[in-house]
Amino acid sequence: MIGGPVPATAAAPAGGPTAGPTTRSTIRSAEVLVASPGRNFVTLRVVTEDGVVGLGDATLNGRELAVASYLTDHVVPLLVGRDAHRIEDTWQYLYRGAYWRRGPVTMTAIAAVDMALWDIKARLAGMPLYQLLGGASRTGIMAYGHASGRDVPELLDSVRAQMAEGFRSIRVQTSVPGIDKVYGVAAQPSTSGRYDYEPAQRAPLPAEEDWDPAAYLRHIPTVFEAVRHEFGPALPLLHDAHHRLTPIQAARLGKSLEPYDLFWLEDCTPAENQDALRLVRAHTTTPLAIGEVFNTVWDYQTLIREQLVDYVRSSVTHAGGITALRRILDLAAQYQIRSGLHGPTDVSPVGMAAALHLDLAIHNFGIQEYMQHSTPTSSVFRTSFRWEGGYLHPGEHHGLGVEYDDEAAAHFPYQAAYLPVSRLKDGTIHDW
Ligand code: KDG
Ligand code: MG
């Protein structure tokens, strides 16, 4: 009989299950921590019966409390009593079991559980997480910094400041003549030496910004010309169009930036339509990056299979955790597509640490975004990761390498904050 049921009397095959001690670590409690040290963060803390603690990042910028409720009301009660070691089973249980799959709130909640369970497993194994993911594939993680300016001289100064901080690859964003506020441009130059553009603003209503694609398309190539003129051909330069262009506008931008040899052009079109990238790809050799608002492998299906992009931009936090993002990255690797994981300040230090362990372990690493967290944030999240000579490293602490300080967090209660909305000159709402 081939493939049929095994008779109850069948002898256990050689190498089959043994009667040795089982590895089990029961989850005693799970709680959701919401705090606002500099900005809002949602963190899941899972504790096993042996007192081992795992942390997961559940921060969804501007919609934080939706994920906090999803976790508190619908996930935490399911976790207590489960075996913390069964990461894959728990992921499938939360993803398939809910029936209502995908979406940023669901996938951020699942990501937090997944991160916390990997943290616990690595702590129990007595290893930094990257060792469980296969060990280091490199000695350090190349990260890009952020430069911006309200005009070209201010931008050039900002590039110099980022280079002085150690960055060897730099994202360039700039104001556009005739537009009041533009994505990625800090209202004031940084006084701390740290890049301090923060799009979410603490207010009961979202701020409104304006947008004019024609003015932007005219201006951006002149900015890259000035940057290349000042810093030469070798400095890797990146740019984020933040989902604002139509396919033909994006194609034109990619083509007009070709002489300036960008490392990547990010999010040139809105995220929903994967087919749009076919048109862009047909017209330009500027490398393309996308995915910070994607939350499952299905959002990448056409893009990866047809090799329409060069970099995967998801964060561990918004794409279902380490388990799910690893699968996306492995699929991408078969098509020579590399990682460029999302790392703004709204990915908490826990989410950032998870990204660094993945970055160190995977083969198809490309680059990591790094927007340093503020001093209040670092007072709540104590991290082991290092920034040295333009490279990041997750450090050698067991697990993710992050501890949460409840006392420090108590000084920073949640405050409502929203990402801005964007309008064209005639008042029409546009992609932000
Ligand atoms: O929450 C939104 C921010 O994370 C996003 O605007 C940052 O586009 C971004 C980037 O590339 O870091
Ligand atoms: Mg972006």
Q: State the closest ligand 1 atom to the C-alpha of 369, by its place in the atom list counted from 1.
A: 12
Residue with tokens 């894959």: 88
Alpha carbon separation from 233 to 157, 237, 265, 309, 343 (Å, rounded): 18, 10, 17, 23, 26
**Nearest bound ligand to CA 183?**
1
339 neighbors 311 (Cβ within 8 angstroms)? yes
Q: State the Cα–Cα distance between residues 392 and 379, nearest whole angstrom.
A: 20
Where in the sequence numbering do the catalytic residues fall? 183, 242
Which residue has its alpha carbon closest to ligand 1 atom 5? 344
Residue among 242, 292, 422 to mutate when testing ligand 1 (max atoms within 8 A of CB): 292
Task: Give the largest CA-CA distance in the chain.
Answer: 81
Distance 207 CA to ligand 1 centre (A): 16
| Residue type (1 letter), 241 | A
Looking at every residue in the chain, the average pLDDT score rounds to: 93
Which residue lies with its CA nearest to atom 7 of ligand 1? 344
Instruction: Please give all residues whose CB falls under 5 A of ion ligand 2, grouped by chain where several chains appear.
Output: 240, 292
pLDDT digits (tens, 9 = 90+) for 97-122: 999 999 999 999 999 999 999 999 99
Tell the burial category of 60 from Cβ atoms under 10 Å away from its Cβ (0-12, 13-18, 19+).
buried
For residues 362 and 326, is the Cβ–Cβ distance under 8 A? yes
The pairs formed by 406-409 with CB atoms below 8 angstroms and a separation of 24 or more are 406/33, 408/37, 408/379, 408/380, 409/33, 409/35, 409/37, 409/380
Nearest ligand atom owner, CA of 267? 2
**Which residue owns the Cα nearest ligand 1 atom 9?**
344
Report how far residue 374's alpha carbon sits from residue 328's, in angstroms, rounded to the nearest whole number: 30
pLDDT tens for the chain, 432 residues long, are 333 333 333 344 444 455 555 689 999 999 999 999 999 999 999 999 999 999 999 999 999 999 999 999 999 999 999 999 999 999 999 999 999 999 999 999 999 999 999 999 999 999 999 999 999 999 999 999 999 999 999 999 999 999 999 999 999 999 999 998 888 887 777 766 677 788 899 999 999 999 999 999 999 999 999 999 999 999 999 999 999 999 999 999 999 999 999 999 999 999 899 999 999 999 999 999 999 999 999 999 999 999 999 999 999 999 999 999 999 999 999 999 999 999 999 999 999 999 999 999 999 999 999 999 999 999 999 999 999 989 999 999 999 999 999 999 999 999 999 999 999 999 999 998
Report the pLDDT value the prediction gives residue 181, as an integer from 0 to 100. 84
List pocket residues of ligand 1, CB cut-off 6 Å.
Answer: 61, 199, 240, 242, 292, 342, 344, 346, 369, 419
What single letter denotes the amino acid at residue 218? R
> Is the four-CA dihedral 261, 337, 293, 275 of positive or negative sign?
positive
Q: What's the CA-to-centroid distance between 23 and ligand 1, angstroms?
A: 40
Separation of CA 185 and ligand 2 centre (Å): 13
Q: How far is the CA of 60 from the centre of ligand 1 (A)?
A: 11
Q: pLDDT of 347-370, one tens digit each?
A: 999 999 999 999 999 999 999 999
Q: How far is CA 357 from the centre of its chain?
A: 13
| CB 158, CB 338: distance < 8 Å | no
Residue owning the nearest CA to atom 8 of ligand 1: 242
Question: Global pTM?
Answer: 0.94
